[in-house]
Amino acid sequence: MMVRSLLFSLFIVFSINISFCHGVELIFDTQDFPPYSYLENGNVEGPASAIIRQVCTAMNIKCTLQLQSWTRAQYNVKEGLAHGLFLLARNKDRDSWLFFSLPLFKAQYGIFVRQDNPIVFSEPSQLKGYLIGVYGPSNTSRQLELIQKKIPEILIDLRPNDEAGFRKLFHGRDDAVFSNKDVGLMVCKKMKIKGIRYAGTYQSTNYHVGFSQKYNDYETVKQFNAAYVKLYKQGTIKQILQTYDMEPAILDESELK
Q: List pLDDT tens digits, range 38-54.
A: 999 999 999 999 999 99
Class of domain 2-106+207-256 (CATH, top level): alpha beta
Q: How far is 238 from 214, CA to CA, in rounded Å? A: 32
pLDDT digits (tens, 9 = 90+) for 133-146: 999 988 899 999 99
Q: What integer pLDDT is reported at residue 255 of this predicted model?
A: 83
Would you say how long the chain is, in residues? 257
Class of domain 108-204 (CATH, top level): alpha beta
Radius of gyration of the chain (CA): 20
Beta strands in 24-168 (DSSP E): 25-30, 38-40, 43-45, 62-67, 84-88, 98-100, 105-114, 131-135, 155-159
Extents of the domains making up the chain: 2-106+207-256, 108-204
Domains 2-106+207-256 and 108-204 belong to one CATH topology: yes
Q: How far is 208 from 102, CA to CA, in rounded Å? A: 6
* More confident of the two residues 79 and 139: 79
Q: How far is 71 from 93, CA to CA, in rounded Å? A: 15
pTM of the model: 0.78
